[in-house]
Amino acid sequence: MSTIKVDTIQTRAGASEISITTLKADTIQNTSGTSEIGIDTLKGASSAGSMSVVGEGGTTTTNLQQGLAKAFICIDVSEAAAFSSDDSFNIASVTDSGTGSYGITFTNSMKTSRYSAPAGGYSASGHAVGTQGESTSGTSVKVADNGGSASDLDCYTTITGTLA
- Strands 84-89 and 61-63, by their bridges, are unpaired
For CA atoms 87, 156, 140, 117, give the dihedral sign: positive
First to last CA, the chain: 42
Count of beta carbons in the 10 Å neighbourhood of residue 106: 21
* CA 101 vs CA 49, 88, 127: distances in Å: 37, 17, 13
Structure confidence at residue 146 as a pLDDT band (50, 70, 90): confident
Q: Which of 28-32, 40-44, 73-77, 82-86 has the highest mean pLDDT?
A: 73-77
- Tell me if the pTM is above 0.85: no
> What pLDDT digit, counting tens, does each position of 85-129 carry?
668 899 999 888 999 999 999 999 999 999 999 999 888 888 899
**Among the listed residues 76, 95, 98, 97, the one whose alpha carbon sits nearest the alpha carbon of residue 85:** 76
Residue spans of the domains in the chain: they are 71-159
Give dist(CA 146, CA 23) in Å, integer.
Answer: 53
pLDDT at 55: 77
Give dist(CA 145, CA 164) in Å, integer.
Answer: 35
| Biggest alpha carbon–alpha carbon distance for the chain | 69
| Local structure of 101: helix, strand or coil | strand
Q: What percent of the chain has pLDDT over 70?
A: 66
